[in-house]
Chains A and B, each alone.
Chain A
Amino acid sequence: MTRDPIGLALSIMNRISGNPLLDRFGLRTPLEKSAYHGTRAGFRTIALAGREFNRVRNWLPQTRLPARKQSDLFDLTLDDDQQMVTDSLRRLARDVLRPAAAEADETGRIPDHVFLATSELGLPMYAVPAEFGGVAEQQSPVTSVLIAEQLAWGDMGLALAMLAPFSVAQAISRWGTGEQQSRYLPAFCEENPPLASIALDEPAALFDPMKLATTAIATEQGYRLTGEKAQVVLGGQCDLLLVAAALDGKPRLFIVETAGKQLQIADDAGMGLRATGAARIRFENMELPADALLGGDDFHYPAFIDQGALMRCGLAIGTSQAVLDYVIPYCNDRQAFGEPISHRQSVAFMISNLAIETDSMRLLTWRAASRAETGLDFHREACLARLLCNEKSMEVGSNGVQLLGGHGFVKEHPVERWYRDLRSVATHHGGVHA
């Protein structure tokens, strides 16, 4: 487009306002400066002091958790274990995550006491089979979804940060070779489990997780990895990354131990989920050993993606439920025209619809997860659940802000944060695995 005189004037003004002289005369506030630099920092090459994972000499045979036996009858009740996990995580979400969420969003990091409280929970242990020190006895995507739901009720960003290592442990339990399981899984059951994350999304519009631009080429020693990953949860701090890349045109996952490697990392903070410390990571001909390729012949990338979708849905449901639980008392308290605004159908019906759609998402996701858990095909169900969550959870987020009006737009209430977090449901694929 050609520049007309007005455009030209605006452009000159813009350049003046960006002039460093403004800073010299103290005309720009410090906060504005930090925002300016934050977005311009670009890639830095960082050597992470990540932990070492030693090759195991006498590794255990590859373990695959059995599917749960399907019950005969339709049943929506949680079993005792599921109920216990749900209850304890709901308490954590209410007492620890929710109160810490605003600060975590503001500072872009997980407060220490949250980190401590969640470490004590030993979440990754639920992903690891007993042989490797965990407590998992069978596949449990339903429990994973319930965990995501409860944590995201507290805060989706903190939930994602907590679920990243859990998800890597799940993926290695589900897909890893015996050697890989023996090398990595016991670490997830220690007091200080490794920080780990799944790097999948790429900085491209219409990104399709089935079509990766990141590639791995087989070499004599192993693989050579090239590409760029976006929105990697805990990206700058991980000991371990699972990186999705195309090998001979087929998508696979590669285990990258960050210790001793030079990683090109850039801050990739987004609209929401700011507690996750999201980062861009660029791989330029990174050499990986032959055993970095996750799993063997039974690795099934589409199922891996579907397992991630289940978890994403769990997060969407949790935050949507948070919106619903928040707007009900608010609209009952808030007075307008001499009565609570909830006495108006235009308000009340929006709340009815929030409840209908939140339960819609929940039941669709539970069905997909329950099918996955009992070893049934769940691709269709996971795709349907994900699409519904993409559509409805953003609607819930938007209407949540709308119901609070101007109060919804300011940070005095959490709904504006939930609005930002819920936008990620449809845009993100990586980071999680049920």
Chain B
Amino acid sequence: MNLEIPVKFVPIIHQAQQVAREVFRPISRKYDRAEHAYPKELDLFASIMDGMNDGAADGGAGAGRLARSGGHGEAGNRNGTNMKTVLGLTELCWGDVGLALSIPRQGLGNSAIAAVANEDQLKRFGNTWAAMAITEPGAGSDSAAIQTTATQDGGDYIINGEKIYVTAGERADAVVVWATLDKSRGRAAIKSFVVEKGTPGMSVERLEKKLGIRSSDTAAIRFENCRVPGENLLGDPEISVDKGFAGAMQTFDNTRPVVAGMAIGVARAALERTREILTSSGLSLDYQQQTWSLPAAARELQLLEAELEAARLLTLRAAWMADNGQPNSREASMAKAKAGRVGSQVTLRCAELCGSLGYGETELLEKWARDSKILDIFEGTQQIQLLIIARRLLDKSSSELK
């Protein structure tokens, strides 16, 4: 048993920390204010990230590498891409969550492509920055209820519908769109399609103004008789019993620990800064077994740190299981649920503990308290995670435990 970060990941953590500290933090406030402006500083960083991925002998890190690493290869304990990606994203989000979401070629769509694409598609889209378009005005957590349609026309598909909350939807080179081949066939008929930017019939309607992660563009995209070639359908084109949809949902088992890691990053940023501020105002912050005699703020910080540490270890566990090919749906959701709520709890409390300093824009604490909220919502809300966990624990189907 060992719950420490392996030495081999120290360089990538260090590298990501440098990016967070030297690239993200200095422009963090700028792009929070200038919502929807493109952070051009990131282009340079993207090529560094590409270099890291291509050069890495053990499969690299990043959204496009998830899920491919686990379960095969040599026997024995593995610490691989899933853990590495979690660790990297944690550091980057210590810098800025919105900017981390804006790194080219690290979109959620890339994870979806990595999870279900065939070899040919991997070759074609492997270098594409792909956003993910699932949510619709009438379908959020209930992704089986989507209304967007894909109609076969010769060798092509014609896509019609409206997608919202597409992270990096404007900046990405392509969008992975979920659409149904036949509304009457339920979730089995839901397929994902890669729609490249500039395809006629696809248009970005607007960019959302948001509570947080303002440096990340969140797009509403309309598809009107948008024709995509049949080779852009990811996975199996047949309407098979639930298999395709389940496969697509499994993408989340791999991406949820990464989002959990993001929450841990921003929460750690808030906690560290709050410790600095409180220490400089004369509060002693030693760790104690008996915490009831401590000042209330000191006890609260120790508790927040414990909660954060719990979220971090749950997340590492889920990633470790994925790296070792173990089914981790329950554990991934546990990590996401814990980290999502702890992220909000920690950042909000830190803003509170620092008073007007925490609330004002001279510090980043108020921003972190806004940024963290999305992490308890996207990739499955807190409530969806609890539902998944409960169904697994209680051995219930989605029709029994609704």
A-side residues, CB < 8 A to B, are 70-79, 82, 142, 206-210, 305-306, 309, 328, 331-332, 342-343, 345, 348-349, 351-353, 355-356, 359-361, 363-364, 366-367, 370-371, 374, 376, 379-388, 391, 429
Contacts and interface: CB of A to CB of B under 8 A. Distances in A.
Contacts of B2: 70-75, 370, 374
Contacts of A382: 289
Contacts of A206: 290, 292-293
A76 B78 CA distance: 11
Interface of B: 1-8, 77-79, 83, 287-293, 302-303, 305-307, 309-311, 313-314, 316-317, 320, 334, 337-338, 383, 385-387, 389-391, 393-396, 400-402
B135 to A, nearest CB: 22
B289 A76 contact: no
A208 B290 contact: yes
Contact of A387 (B4, B303, B314): B303
Contacts of B334: 355-356, 359
A75 B77 contact: yes
B337 A388 contact: no
A397 to B, nearest CB: 18
A209 B3 contact: no
26 contacts: A70-B4, A74-B79, A78-B1, A79-B1, A208-B288, A210-B290, A328-B394, A332-B394, A345-B383, A349-B387, A351-B394, A352-B389, A352-B393, A356-B334, A359-B314, A360-B311, A363-B317, A364-B313, A366-B1, A366-B3, A383-B302, A384-B305, A385-B306, A386-B289, A387-B303, A429-B289
A328 B303 CA distance: 28
A207 B290 contact: yes
A320 to B, nearest CB: 13
A353 B5 CA distance: 26
Contacts of B401: 342-343, 345, 348
The listed residue with most A CB atoms (<10 A of its CB), out of B7, B290, B303, B383, is: B290
Contacts of B320: 74-76
A305 B293 CA distance: 17
A209 B290 contact: yes
Contact of B393 (A351, A379, A388): A351
A62 B369 CA distance: 54
Given A342-B401, A359-B317, 11 more contacts: A73-B77, A74-B4, A75-B1, A76-B1, A342-B394, A348-B394, A351-B393, A364-B309, A364-B313, A366-B1, A387-B303
A366 B306 CA distance: 13
Given A74-B5, A206-B290, A210-B289, A364 B310 contact: yes
Given A366-B3, A387-B291, A343 B396 contact: yes
Majority SS at the chain A contact face: helix
A82 B2 CA distance: 13
Nearest to B389: A352
B7 A72 contact: yes
Contacts of B77: 73, 75, 77
A366 B383 CA distance: 28
Contacts, number: 160
Nearest to B305: A384
Contacts of A388: 303, 306-307, 309-310
The listed residue with most B CB atoms (<10 A of its CB), out of A352, A386, A429, is: A352
B292 to A, nearest CB: 5
Contacts of B1: 75-79, 82, 142, 366, 370
Contacts of A328: 393-394
B289 A383 contact: yes
Contact of A363 (B5, B78, B313): B313
Nearest to B394: A342
A214 B308 CA distance: 37
A305 B314 contact: no
Nearest to B399: A343
The listed residue with most A CB atoms (<10 A of its CB), out of B383, B389, B402, is: B389
B8 to A, nearest CB: 7
Contacts of A309: 289
A316 to B, nearest CB: 13
A367 B389 contact: no
A353 B383 CA distance: 11
A73 B313 contact: no
Contacts of A332: 394-395
A429 B288 CA distance: 13
A351 B390 CA distance: 7
Contacts of B6: 72-74
Contacts of A363: 3, 310, 313-314, 317
B82 to A, nearest CB: 11
Nearest to A361: B310
Contacts of B305: 384
A297 B28 CA distance: 51
The listed residue with most A CB atoms (<10 A of its CB), out of B5, B7, B302, is: B302
A70 B7 CA distance: 11
Q: Which 7 A-B pairs have the closest CB atoms?
A: A360-B310, A348-B390, A383-B287, A363-B313, A367-B3, A352-B389, A384-B306
B312 to A, nearest CB: 9
B390 A352 contact: yes
A137 to B, nearest CB: 16
Contacts of A73: 2, 6, 77-79
The listed residue with most A CB atoms (<10 A of its CB), out of B287, B302, B389, B390, is: B390
B161 to A, nearest CB: 30
A387 B393 contact: no
Contacts of A379: 287
A206 B387 CA distance: 39
A205 to B, nearest CB: 9
A361 B309 CA distance: 10
Contacts of B4: 70, 74, 367, 370-371, 376
B288 A391 contact: no
Contacts of B338: 356, 360
The listed residue with most B CB atoms (<10 A of its CB), out of A356, A376, A385, is: A356
A383 B288 contact: yes
Given A74-B79, A383-B288, A388-B307, A356 B337 contact: yes
Contacts of B83: 74
Contact of B303 (A72, A351, A391): A391
